[in-house]
Each structure stands twice: as structure tokens, then as C-alpha cells.
């Protein structure tokens, strides 16, 4: 009978390299999340200011999110606004004319809403470039939400 072969013990080093890459990826995601939170805070401040300038009357949603100079920024504005809704920092309602309107929510209003069993929801809306081109021509658009990232912020 042949003798059984002895098993060789091999140490693997690959898991250490994977761990380092995972840590780097987490840092990148954290940095992106910080940028998103910063953008959401800027958007919230802008919404509050516009609401005050509009005599504490809700603002038409499309007037708020559409950037007449950039379809891309319009889509970004819609995306970031959805986080304000999710976090309970803004409300979106349909007015008597069937037009969506937005307003900031105070912490007190949010607390009352939650005490009554209310739950935050997140809305995602869509718009294609043809819709953007039509809306930006028929809606009286104020200056856009402050620019972000590499662009000059107002």
C-alpha cells in the first residue's frame, strides 16, 4: 500500500490586502456621504430662505428644483430634495390648483407629526430632458438653487 501524502500548510496573505481595500472604500463612502449631507443642508437653508421671502407661503416644487441653466442640476436638485422629505425637513403637498408645493418643516412640527404616528416617506420624481425644456420655458423660474461642488456656491 502506498503511504499517505503529508499535507502542506500554506499561509495566505491575500485577506490582509482585501482588508486594506475595504477600509479605503469605507472612507470614500463616508466622504461622499458627508458631501451629500452638506448639499442637503445647503438645500434646506435655501428652502427656508425662499419660504421666508415668499411670505411663509409654500413654493411651487418645480420652481424650486428646476435650474433653467442645467438639466443635470435640475435632476440633482430633485434627488437631494427627496432626502429633505425623507428626513422630515420639508413637506410636499398638492395645492388647490393641483400643483405640487414645498415648504420647510420645523423640528417642532416634525416632532408633533411623529407623536401622532406619522412616518417620513421619501419621494422620487422623474423628468426627462424634453419635459425640462418645456417646463423651463413656461414656469417663471427664479435664480436656481446655489451651485454645488466645483461650481461657485452662492
With 0-12 / 13-18 / 19 or more C-beta atoms within 10 angstroms meaning exposed / middle / buried, residue 5 is exposed
Helix (H) or strand (E) holding 150: none
The pTM of the full predicted model, rounded to 2 decimals, is 0.66
Instruction: Kindly state whether residue 79 falls inside one of the protein's structural domains.
Output: yes
Give 4's contacts (C-beta < 8 A, 6+ positions apart). Answer: none
Instruction: Kindly state whether residue 43 falls inside one of the protein's structural domains.
Output: yes
Q: Kindly state the DSSP code that residue 19 receives in the 8-state scheme.
A: H
- Split into its structural domains, the chain has a count of 1
What's the chain's average pLDDT? Answer: 79
Instruction: Kindly state whether residue 1 falls inside one of the protein's structural domains.
Output: no
Crossing angle of helices 14-53 and 71-86, in 10° steps, is 90
Tell me the three cell numbers of residue 140: 417663471
Instruction: Kindly state whether residue 6 falls inside one of the protein's structural domains.
Output: no
Least-confidence region, from 7-11, 36-40, 87-91, 105-109: 7-11
Q: Which domain holds residue 104?
A: 16-138
Q: What is the CATH number of the domain that holds 33?
A: 1.10.10.580
Among 49, 45, 43, 48, residue whose Cα is nearest residue 78: 43
* pLDDT above 90: residue 103: yes
Residue located via cell numbers 422620487: 124
pLDDT tens digits along 33-83: 678 889 899 999 999 999 999 999 999 999 899 888 889 999 999 999 999
Instruction: Kindly state whether residue 11 falls inside one of the protein's structural domains.
Output: no
What pLDDT shows up at residue 113?
A: 80
Instruction: Kindly state whether residue 34 falls inside one of the protein's structural domains.
Output: yes
User: With bands split at pLDDT 50, 70 and 90, how would you rate the model's confidence at 17?
Assistant: low
Amino acid at each position: 500500500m502506498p503511504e499517505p501524502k503529508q499535507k502542506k500548510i500554506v499561509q495566505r496573505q491575500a485577506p490582509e490586502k482585501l482588508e486594506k481595500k475595504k477600509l479605503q472604500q469605507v472612507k470614500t463612502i463616508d466622504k461622499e456621504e458627508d458631501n451629500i449631507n452638506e448639499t442637503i443642508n445647503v438645500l434646506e437653508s435655501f428652502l427656508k430662505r425662499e419660504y421666508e421671502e415668499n411670505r411663509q407661503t409654500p413654493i411651487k416644487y418645480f420652481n424650486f428644483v428646476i435650474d433653467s441653466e442645467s438639466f443635470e442640476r435640475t435632476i440633482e436638485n430633485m434627488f437631494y430634495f427627496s432626502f429633505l422629505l425623507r428626513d422630515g425637513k420639508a413637506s410636499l403637498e398638492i395645492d388647490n390648483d393641483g400643483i405640487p408645493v414645498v415648504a420647510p418643516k420645523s423640528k417642532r412640527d416634525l416632532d408633533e407629526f411623529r407623536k401622532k404616528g406619522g412616518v417620513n416617506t421619501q419621494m422620487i420624481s422623474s423628468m426627462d430632458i424634453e419635459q425640462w425644456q418645456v417646463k423651463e420655458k413656461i414656469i417663471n423660474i427664479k435664480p436656481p438653487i446655489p451651485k454645488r461642488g466645483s461650481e461657485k456656491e452662492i
